[in-house]
Structure 1
């Protein structure tokens, strides 16, 4: 990310604004809209990144092993608080300057000059180590985001190429691309005047809070430019035409498959592979309807000791710090506990002596080093069991009246509820159950030490918990099991149990290794899926060619009726010839025209009672049949009957008919019988689901109910044909698991036997959290009902 000479020259020039740039009025207007949208998005994300950076520096100061290190951390924290107000304006001004220079011609790299004296070694210089470290980190962040950007980022480069009147921009040259954003961060970050370690920590917070949400910004920018008329029809997938009779009117509101009402857009379908689901907002469901609360005072009493007020969580509502958000969660838990007490449950008794945080974490650390002992046939340890074991351990040292504070007791209770909901979504005998049990102590330590465990949208411990749980999810079939993933998870859990001592980076490293395996498996699954899709497309082209052959024969017949035996030969043997010709050469080729003329000649001869035989036509038919795969004697017999009007070989007709019936035609296979099934017309609900299906992107995940108990299996809609309506489904490893017609799939959706998995409910940990909140609010059931249209998964 080192600045080039022309970049340095531009930096010395006065900042350029869109108002002063030499741009056409329409381009200036569009770039102004882009800049306003990006400023709105980036200012919020940068503020969250700075809040997280401040929180991390405060943690480093608390955990400093020497007074000197602690003083340095507090000094960096002071620098940050003094100069953080300058970072966001500098960043947005630099971004506007990048956009204003959109139409400037790129300056060529200056050619390397020959040194006047090769022996003047003092002129040779090396890059500063600090610059090299920053370049490596920022380039790696930008490279990862460019790889994750995928098709939307490429489409944005095409649209910016139109605005610049130049070829499409690649991610490295895009003015609002990941490389440009990282380069601007380095330049603007110098205003904070922090040391190298703090700057590298800023880059990591920038990656977590800004770049992880960069895909959303790219999508909004593409939508904005498309609405403004900049390549409005640009799409990665080819246009899929509507079939005859398909309604172009949208479904009525409230009908199955109809879009949501105004202000409540339909959730997007989940299209990522296993382990790549989008994270949902944990605070969104928690803070729904919660009134604004004032900021907490600087000194917050916690466990008898005053601590500094922590900055707001990245996912918390502005003006609502972590303590207030966690307090709202405690209020819900208290109301739930009171309802249970009124129903006959035993009320909780206040402890005589509240244990400090160090005593709780030390007790959990002792239990962490001892693996859970479970006899064969006995149930696994629960979070409640861990809570009781920890209390027994600390009471041996602090007396029988010792107990936990209200906050720590609530933390264990919430973890117990969350673990129970996770357990319902994991196979009972899956290896993930044992791994989840071993993670109980490290997860409990992380939640007790950091109240943001239930507040932050992304917590490393929760991310690893989700990865482990999804490896044994109930929606996985037996053929979806991945032994290599289980081994990788076992090593990750072993490392966390052995190394975790309060540093959440241990969870981050363990989960990073697991996610690398997920990405590698996703690439393999994509290769396997691509092969299945190509095979399905080949079958679809064959089916289309067969329809075209039948239409060509019917057009040449024009209502005339040759003898029954000739009709059978035309509908089978000669139809195979036309099908293969359409597949190999296309309908605009000379070969197809020759076969079509031969079809017309066959009809004329076989329908006219006195037409003479045509030896040339017989030879043409014989050659064509042999190319399709007919034996020489069969091809000769068929060609003789199709090239003359008389049938003087009645003795061999029965034998030839038997051979044709025993022969497998082109495209005949396991689905030949299904094409002939006649189903009743679709109802209004089924029709709405059918129209909804034809708008789904390839890669959408479905959940199919597999038994009367309501167990589901996830399958991925890899491809469907707009001509034959045939849909291909694969599993999480890219293996073909079935095919359905869109008509049959729509009927299943209307019956509630198939549901679309949406992004907001794709991850297991998020589904378990929403189920926990429903339990706290008193809603019945651990499983959510499907949406109003019965098509989308709405809960665990």
Structure 2
């Protein structure tokens, strides 16, 4: 539960204009130019978004499953048409208000706290799910655009810092940043008076139609501010330390690809960003085989030059390089080169036989029957072909290589999937359609985001070995079975069949990610509450130690102060803060308690006793206990009416405020960190929330993925959830750094996030390793 207060991201102040803002004339002139440019750019995008939103609503009404749902959708459509004219002006007014409050940003970030009333339990209410859902979606939109913004967004924050007369703005506080645009959308969208589902649909359309063009707006704003003389020569050159032996001259493309690949993975399960198969991987591949492309593609000594040339290599050249690697692999493995068949079957004959095999019912899974491999499929296909074309019929070298590469890829995928997972059966059913797609289109191994490969990844990740038993999703398995059956039934050379099937699966992944975000947000709020409690306990301990100042009250009194009165101070810091009058009053009472109990002949203080009694009852102490403790802490001698033995027993039996196993574990001071552990610890404190980790579970190297949802920079406490947003544990950043230093935990980066990419990199490592060739270039970096 939480106090019933409004969200901090929105202020109660009404719309404001730049003309009425208390700004210097020069700043006002620049902001008016910014507002004009942003208004012109956003008006067009917003109108396009509203047009698309209207089409989506009409499509929902057209596809409604009942007349009631259809009438609800049409009612939403009618409300949109009634209030649509108010959205764009309201949005532009909200944007101008954000700019007009530029120099009030510091005050907006720290809103004035309302007057604190005595604790009123009737003011507590459950978190509003509607607000929570909207905030999560908008914040994710802002986060994604902030990640895409890159250097131009950083430069814009620097320039707005100059206009505001303060340090640079980060994307979250930039008045015209991605988060600000999303907050303005929420306020403007309320003019439509629509349901939550329709508002969320509006947000998604806004991301596609408006935020996709936000990068262009940022570039134009930087040009405008440059012309206005706001940091005209500003550039951003990040410092990249050069490791020993690293070349001084590196191509920008290669450097940026390496930086991207090392970004921590923050997306939810099934939402990882696809890696560029034809980028970093193929650049390194072309560097190994310069004869596969143009003659000047890799004649120099710099692998980065070859990588730059590989981006322009045709698919045939890159596939030829793969064939060369496969030939080297066969030679070094001792496999004899297959003799050319007497009759090489054309591609049409191969596709027709595979189509006939695809129409056959899937083999049953009898106990003990080994799973069919791609090589088994090839042998079965050759047997059918030779029945029709003679015993000398066979495949061309290109088709044989395609089968070999697919076989290696499938084996690597199988290693990453649980042996008894439903995904194993689905992967076997997909073999024939995937082989047909690869045979007909050699870009299967080269093109980024090939539809057949994307579906293969979606199926494999549903049973990935990094998922625990509680991560299983029966609804996802059902959706995957339907998608795979549809591909087997409908695929006949059109790759859009794979694309449609994968799109349906991705819709389920997105729905699950949304549910996981809601669950994770609640876990984060609970963890933040526990963290605030821990911070308040530390403040209470510091306040007591400062007031004692070396003085030593009787041992029984010390126990009462460090337990009962510390709980009072903790609750006061938690509710009111350390700058409040209530905290200052408690500090004075603490000073008075120590003065009286440390003095030999101090007179009892009835007023102090009443104050202590009231405070202890607010913490939850019983009347008798509170009165007995208050009498002892307000006098210097023992109270005849108080039984020390009885009171001590009650205190020991009483649970401390916020006490638990984790609090006890934190009291144990760990040994000093080594240099490696310290390096890991410092790196951890720079990671974004949502970073995925892999934790080694046993000596066999099995891993489980957990998401670092939140950590406290004050207490170092870190919260981890699973793929469904459920809490799986908490630990300190210190212990996590020690696990990383010993190889028991590692950060999942974007290039290692997807199972299909990991399997392909492992395939290439196997080709290079068995051929006795070390990894180099961008390929080596990507598959390390």
Q: Residue 151 of structure 1: CA displacement? A: 2.4
> Structure 1 residues 218, 513: CA separation in 2 closer, same or farther (over 3 Å shift)?
farther
Q: TM-score, normalised by structure 1?
A: 0.67
Partners of 2:398 and 2:266 in 1: how far apart? 39
Determine if contact 1:581/1:591 at 8 Å carries over to the other structure.
Answer: yes
> Structure 1 residues 476, 574: CA separation in 2 closer, same or farther (over 3 Å shift)?
same
Q: TM-score, normalised by structure 2?
A: 0.68
Partners of 1:780 and 1:712 in 2: how far apart? 29
Residue correspondence of structure 1 range 641-790 to structure 2 within 5 A? 641-649=632-640, 652-778=643-769
> Structure 1 residues 535, 470: CA separation in 2 closer, same or farther (over 3 Å shift)?
same
Aligned to 1:622: 613
How far does the alpha carbon of each residue in 1:557-610 deviate from its partner, in whole angstroms, 9 at most, with x for none? 121111111111000000000100111111122211211111111111111111
Determine if contact 2:354/2:432 at 8 Å carries over to the other structure.
Answer: yes
Aligned to 2:37: 102
Partners of 2:718 and 2:413 in 1: how far apart? 32
Aligned to 1:424: 415
The structure 1 residue matched to 2:282, chosen from 277, 283, 286, is: 286
Q: Residue 556 of structure 1: CA displacement? A: 1.4
Determine if contact 2:451/2:495 at 8 Å carries over to the other structure.
Answer: yes
Q: Does 1:569 align with 2:560?
A: yes
Aligned to 2:363: 373
Q: Residue 371 of structure 1: CA displacement? A: 2.7
Partners of 2:614 and 2:515 in 1: how far apart? 44
Determine if contact 1:161/1:168 at 8 Å carries over to the other structure.
Answer: no
Aligned to 2:516: 525
Partners of 1:320 and 1:337 in 2: how far apart? 25
Aligned to 1:6: none
SS in structure 2 opposite 1:672? helix
Aligned to 1:269: 264
> Structure 1 residues 590, 278: CA separation in 2 closer, same or farther (over 3 Å shift)?
same
How far does the alpha carbon of each residue in 1:366-408 deviate from its partner, in whole angstroms, 9 at most, with x for none? 1101133243211110000000011111111111111111111
Determine if contact 1:471/1:486 at 8 Å carries over to the other structure.
Answer: yes
Determine if contact 1:159/1:225 at 8 Å carries over to the other structure.
Answer: no
- Structure 1, unmatched stretches of 5+, are 1-23, 29-97, 110-126, 175-206, 233-248, 255-259, 297-314, 788-792
Partners of 2:412 and 2:224 in 1: how far apart? 43
Partners of 1:222 and 1:709 in 2: how far apart? 54
Partners of 1:583 and 1:481 in 2: how far apart? 39
How far does the alpha carbon of each residue in 1:139-175 deviate from its partner, in whole angstroms, 9 at most, with x for none? 99xxxx999753253696898799899995588999x
Partners of 1:212 and 1:348 in 2: how far apart? 54
Determine if contact 2:332/2:771 at 8 Å carries over to the other structure.
Answer: no
SS in structure 2 opposite 1:376? coil
Q: Does 1:348 align with 2:338?
A: yes
SS in structure 1 opposite 2:310? coil
The structure 2 residue matched to 1:150, chosen from 142, 148, 152, is: 142
Partners of 2:489 and 2:219 in 1: how far apart? 44
> Structure 1 residues 223, 770: CA separation in 2 closer, same or farther (over 3 Å shift)?
farther
Partners of 1:671 and 1:520 in 2: how far apart? 33
Task: Name the Cα RMSD after superposition.
Answer: 4.5
The structure 2 residue matched to 1:358, chosen from 348, 354, 357, is: 348
The structure 1 residue matched to 2:434, chosen from 430, 443, 456, is: 443
Q: Residue 673 of structure 1: CA displacement? A: 2.4
Determine if contact 2:329/2:770 at 8 Å carries over to the other structure.
Answer: no
Determine if contact 1:702/1:717 at 8 Å carries over to the other structure.
Answer: yes
640-649 or 521-530: which moved more?
A: 640-649
Determine if contact 1:152/1:218 at 8 Å carries over to the other structure.
Answer: no
How far does the alpha carbon of each residue in 1:292-339 deviate from its partner, in whole angstroms, 9 at most, with x for none? 66989xxxxxxxxxxxxxxxxxx9934421111111111111111122
> Structure 1 residues 385, 212: CA separation in 2 closer, same or farther (over 3 Å shift)?
farther
> Structure 1 residues 597, 169: CA separation in 2 closer, same or farther (over 3 Å shift)?
closer
Partners of 1:358 and 1:388 in 2: how far apart? 18
Residue correspondence of structure 1 range 502-513 to structure 2 within 5 A? 502-513=493-504
Aligned to 2:73: none
Q: Residue 651 of structure 1: CA displacement? A: 6.6
586-595 or 747-756: which moved more?
A: 586-595
Partners of 2:224 and 2:703 in 1: how far apart? 40
Aligned to 2:184: none
Question: How many residue pairs were aligned?
Answer: 595
Q: Residue 676 of structure 1: CA displacement? A: 2.2
Consecutive aligned runs of 4 or more in structure 1 exceeding 4 Å deviation? 98-101, 103-109, 132-137, 145-149, 154-174, 210-230, 249-254, 260-266, 290-296, 793-796
> Structure 1 residues 475, 671: CA separation in 2 closer, same or farther (over 3 Å shift)?
same
